[in-house]
Amino acid sequence: MKITKAVITAAGRDQHGLPLQRLVDRDGVTKSAIHIIIEEARSAGVEQIGLVIHPHTEEAYRAAVQPVLGQVRFIPQDQPLGYGHALWCARNFVGAEPFLHFVSDHLYISETGQRCAQQLAEVAAAENCAVSAVQATRENMLPYYGTVAGRRVANRKNLYEIEDVVEKPTPTEAEQRLIVPGLRAGHYLCFFGMHVLTPVIMEILDAAVAAAGDRGGVQLSPALAKLAARERYLALELAGARYNIGVKYGLLTAQLALGLSGADRDEVLTQLVELLARQRPTRK
């Protein structure tokens, strides 16, 4: 399986501005969040990026990805008909090829010499099937993520056969359907924000879009659950961490993580220590 294309979805109402936010990357250079995600994709050998956006934001996104503009194709989602619909809009771009998919409100930091997307693409190529990156996630974060159920692949510490996918389950639903043996109590395998998907997902989404019509509301997680029923579909617990910039203090946390893992680590640590030293104890 050779992966040369990636699709990044950035058309949701809450995503119009987030990926345009600027941060200092690990190399000490200021970039937009979407530029950082594109560099993550390129690290895995991706040559073409399909960026799904609302048409009115194209000018802003062109400016944000200017350094890599030649590799980016803008794909419009005219109406907010759901996350799954946004991915479906890229069907002609991906054609009959497997592809990497990223959400546009997550940034990633690897704990190894390989970037997160490289780890994922390598496993997908070796296993020759769809693979979603996951992270063991505390129960209180379930409202933010799609969550998978599955069983560990024999003799593989961090690889799972996906049996079910549920979008933002309640704690009760997760306890009933999504417990994965071997995880710490109160933790579940939640999506990491990046996937390697096969063309079958577009077939599934095509049927969902046709059924929904103008009502929209087509989501990705139900389509991924159907993918697991149709073909081999794995979850990889990556050696790394995702940072959701769309949650409260998400941008701040992501910026700190980038700074502490990059070229300016010592400077960031010094500033943090000075900041903490100036804080007065809170009176009870």
Dist. CA 235–CA 199, nearest whole Å: 18
pLDDT at 284 over 70: no
Domains and CATH numbers, the chain: 5-277 (3.90.550.10)
Name residues whose C-beta falls within 8 Å of residue 248's C-beta, 6 or more positions apart in sequence. none
Burial of 248 (0-12, 13-18, 19+ CB in 10 A): exposed
Q: What pTM was computed for the model? A: 0.92
Residue 283 scores a pLDDT above 70: no
Residue 29 pLDDT class (50, 70, 90 cuts): very high
pLDDT digits (tens, 9 = 90+) for 118-176: 999 999 999 999 999 999 999 999 998 999 999 999 888 899 999 999 999 998 999 88
| Angle between helices 200-212 and 220-230 in degrees, nearest 10 | 130
pLDDT at 181 over 90: no
Is pLDDT above 90 for 45? yes
In angstroms, the CA 28 to CA 23 distance is 9
Cα 225 from Cα 230, distance rounded (Å): 9
* Mean predicted lDDT score pLDDT of the chain: 93
Alpha-carbon gap, residue 7 to 87, rounded angstroms: 7
pLDDT tier for residue 281 given thresholds of 50, 70 and 90 = confident
| Bridge pairing between strands 240-244 and 159-167 | unpaired
Q: Which two tokens stand for residue 172?
A: 């009760």
Helices (H), the chain: 33-43, 58-64, 83-88, 91-94, 116-127, 171-177, 200-212, 220-230, 250-260, 265-277
What mean pLDDT is predicted for residues 188-203?
Answer: 96
Residue 210's pLDDT band (cuts 50, 70, 90): very high
pLDDT surpassing 70 at residue 204: yes
